């Protein structure tokens, strides 16, 4: 079975549905129609450009180009984590926490999967590396954004309680421990829900794509199981790293709460 190609007319039908949703938002005064149209336009442009870039990478398999694209994806994911924060860290830390945490988690998990699970040769084969890294970065980014936003918002709202614990002799780690655990739980809930609903409520994207491309359903299910488990580990490690770095940044060397580091 070959994949049925989509024409520009086919895609325009889906685009008209998005315009209809934007019109409905305007009619109901929801105030999200502009953001919806901008997001839809960005996705069309970005995915089209990515398709052209990947076509070139697949033809050449140049490790330097693959590395450059991977780092670009990492940087954009770090920026998106920062952009989703209502109270973000100022300076380098605003983007650095998310970028470093995803580098630690998503990159290491992707390399581990390519070398020990899939065992593709060479490990930087773009047909495997780019999709897997993209899925891990995207899901890790969402979990980290939720966890960090929960941490900074809770610290801002409960600064009095945190400072009271510090005055009672608690260390900074003890003073913010409950908030940190709550933030980590919030960051892990989306991937836990995704795994619990996979195959019962939803058919995950990678499995859907492989089935549409003609892969045997059982083989597609195996790949989807692997990806979901890797995403869970990557999201967990990324959220732990991000929340730990964020909590550390909220205090100075004298263990004083420094909310002026948020903006």
| Residue 55, pLDDT score | 84
Are 129 and 31 part of one and the same domain?
Answer: no
Are 10 and 119 part of one and the same domain?
Answer: no
Are 186 and 226 part of one and the same domain?
Answer: yes
**For residue 26, what are the CA distances in angstroms to 20, 38, 40, 211, 231?**
10, 14, 16, 37, 36
Q: Which residues pair with 251 in a beta bridge?
A: 257
pTM score above 0.85: no
Residue 259: closest CA among 164, 154, 145? 154
Are 224 and 116 part of one and the same domain?
Answer: yes
Are 55 and 67 part of one and the same domain?
Answer: no
**For residue 102, what are the CA distances in angstroms to 76, 158, 178?**
11, 28, 23
Are 127 and 158 part of one and the same domain?
Answer: yes
Are 247 and 209 part of one and the same domain?
Answer: yes
Are 29 and 152 part of one and the same domain?
Answer: no
| Residue 54, pLDDT score | 83
| Residue 261, pLDDT score | 81
pLDDT less than 50: residues of the chain: none
Are 14 and 56 part of one and the same domain?
Answer: yes
| Residue 120, pLDDT score | 85
| Residue 3, pLDDT score | 66
What pLDDT digit, counting tens, does each position of 100-158 carry? 998 888 888 998 889 888 888 888 888 888 888 988 898 888 889 999 999 999 999 99
| Residue 2, pLDDT score | 61
| Residue 196, pLDDT score | 85
Range of the domain at 50: 1-60
| Residue 41, pLDDT score | 93
Domain count, the chain: 2
Boundary residue ending a domain (16, 32, 60): 60
């Amino acid at each position: 079975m070959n994949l049925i190609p989509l024409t520009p007319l086919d895609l325009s039908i889906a685009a008209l549905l998005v315009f209809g949703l934007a019109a409905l938002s305007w009619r109901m005064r929801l105030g999200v129609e502009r953001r919806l149209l901008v997001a839809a336009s960005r996705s069309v442009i970005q995915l089209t450009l990515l398709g052209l870039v990947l076509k070139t990478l697949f033809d050449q398999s140049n490790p330097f180009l693959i590395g450059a694209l991977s780092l670009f994806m990492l940087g954009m994911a770090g920026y998106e984590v920062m952009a989703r924060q209502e109270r973000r860290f100022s300076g380098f830390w605003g983007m650095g926490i998310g970028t470093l945490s995803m580098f630690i988690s998503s990159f290491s998990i992707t390399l581990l999967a390519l070398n020990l699970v899939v065992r593709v040769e060479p490990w930087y084969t773009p047909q495997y590396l780019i999709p897997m890294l993209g899925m891990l970065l995207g899901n890790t980014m969402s979990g980290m954004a939720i966890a960090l936003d929960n941490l900074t918002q809770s610290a801002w709202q409960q600064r009095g309680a945190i400072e009271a614990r510090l005055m009672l002799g608690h260390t900074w780690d003890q003073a913010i421990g409950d908030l940190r655990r709550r933030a980590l739980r919030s960051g892990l809930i989306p991937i836990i829900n995704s795994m619990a609903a996979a195959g019962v409520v939803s058919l995950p994207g990678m499995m859907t794509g492989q089935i549409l491309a003609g892969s045997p359903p059982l083989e597609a299910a195996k790949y989807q199981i692997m990806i979901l488990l890797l995403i869970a580990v990557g999201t967990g490690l990324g959220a732990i790293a991000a929340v730990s770095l964020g909590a550390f940044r909220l205090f100075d060397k004298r263990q004083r709460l420094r909310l002026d580091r948020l903006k």
